[in-house]
Structure 1
Amino acid sequence: MNRKEFLRNGMLGGAALTLFSGRALSNEPEHLEPFDAMAPFNMKFSPDFDIFNQGDGASFEEQLEWGYDSGFRAWESTWLSRSTVSEQKEIKRVMDRLGMDFGQFVGTMSFKEVTFAGKDKAIRERVLREVRESVEIAKRMDTKYIHNVLGVADPKLPWDFQMANAIELLKQVAEIYEPHGLVMVMETMNHKINHPGMFLHEIPQAYAMAKAVQSPSVKILFDVYHVQIQEGNLIPTMDYAWDEIGYIQIGDTPGRNEPGTGEINFKNVLQHIQDKGYRGFVGLEHGISGNGEEGDKAALKAYREVDPK
């Protein structure tokens, strides 16, 4: 199953899936046919590999070059840790050549286990091992954002105990990341459509945990798609949690596609983010509603229309 199918089925929550196995960077790529070269976006929009139809069958290098030609100056790759070290270095080499910045990747993730909310020693030790491994990947890619998923809730354990367990483990993660200037971002995932069992599912919950940890290395990933479904009230919710938000991702709802395909007023939301002074990554955590080149053109046009001034 490819990344687009994962997004459509809601199997990955806020994490954008890219499968590196079986995909190699081409030394001499057959360059994708670009659209007319476009000016850079004002906002730091950050696609993932294989979001756009142009990515189907294309090498990572071709996709990055196409993205640059289309106006993107940033990129993220959720499953970067599943690539080889040589692939990671090559992706970074291409991005350096193009002058693009790298955003988030996943350090630890489970959609089946009680990782942060529980007390299983072996599971928690594995989480911390994966967190330590993510430090070297972040250095290799010259990024400070690592997306760690907090796992599922334990229905047999009182909620306050789960919160205490999660805060304790988050503090240990912070101790690993702080010396390196790295930031773990944790994403709330909606219970209503995509992920009814996930432990972290509301912004106030994430905010309370970030405040309890009190570390610059533990922040919130605010995924507009999930927040709209779970809570709504996007701008006031964002404003209240603003000091603990470290990363933003977007996708319209219903459908989880590009802006303009659903109910969210992205022109207002993104302008509000820009006006508040945010100049960080805005991950494109969604699919493309149209097919082929025309679908990509329509999505790029939609982004031009909501790009803040």
Structure 2
Amino acid sequence: MVLVVDDSLLQLNMILRHLENQELEIITAADGHEALRIAAERVPDLVLLDLVLPGLDGLEVCRRIKAAPATAEVPVIITTTLNGQEDKLNSLQHGADDFITKPVDRRELLLKTSSMLRRKKHLTTLARQASRDPLTGLYNRRYMDFAMKREMMDSLSSESPLSLLMLDVDHFKNYNDTNGHPAGDEVLKAIGSILTAKLRQHDIIVRYGGEEFLVLLPKTSAEGTALVAEKIRHAMEEYPFPYRASQPGGMVTVSIGGACFPEHACDAAELLHLADEALYRAKREGRNCFRLAKKLEVICS
């Protein structure tokens, strides 16, 4: 998706004609504020940005696009009639990735556009590989550290609760020893699929290591957390995992521990610790159950 920002209808139509038949989804904006709104909502793969815009100029739009975490990696090509060396340097200093002088040459536009889109796709692939577990496709532990801090900041700013679930597959070593590690891997992949299907799109699901999974639940209270945990636990009980008859009780089950921010903890390390404690209480108290962190007198400054 390419966002084209230009307040001149003539210049805008010229760029759109140049990009015809390139199998690109094109969206347009006529001023800086509209461009920022669209960029935040749609997160384009590339922005073609005029420097001279009404209200908010192109340099400030570029700076804000690059400053926002969601759009920081989106490449920006400046398109302008200003062609002095200082104009180019100023654009680069504000985060622009390239510069095209108007009137826009079609060959130059297509070469630079395709180059930037290839680079963006490559970087997106690398970022996904760095943040995803290769077996399940879920987020990995490295991403969790980043997501936890971000979600806790959002929780504080919106004054809404954030909950954490920690899941562990019951008797998983027995399953692996009895049925083989490839069968165990299939169980882990199926659990990833179950969690993805049962949870909200904005919930964050992580394979934390081995047979452990974490789930971050934004805007979810302790009561809501218990309901989500029971939904997950029941879904695991009901799922027709291969060789589940070899497990105790004839089912593949999970034990779940939960903790809430800021009700139980004031920082990420303590939240993880309390969810882990609750998980092992669930293990000690019979497995295939959910336990919530115990209520403490917590005052977060």
TM range (shorter): under 0.3
More strand by share: 2
More helix by share: 2
TM-score (norm 1): 0.23
Greater relative contact order, per chain length (Cα 8 Å cut-off, separation 6+): 1
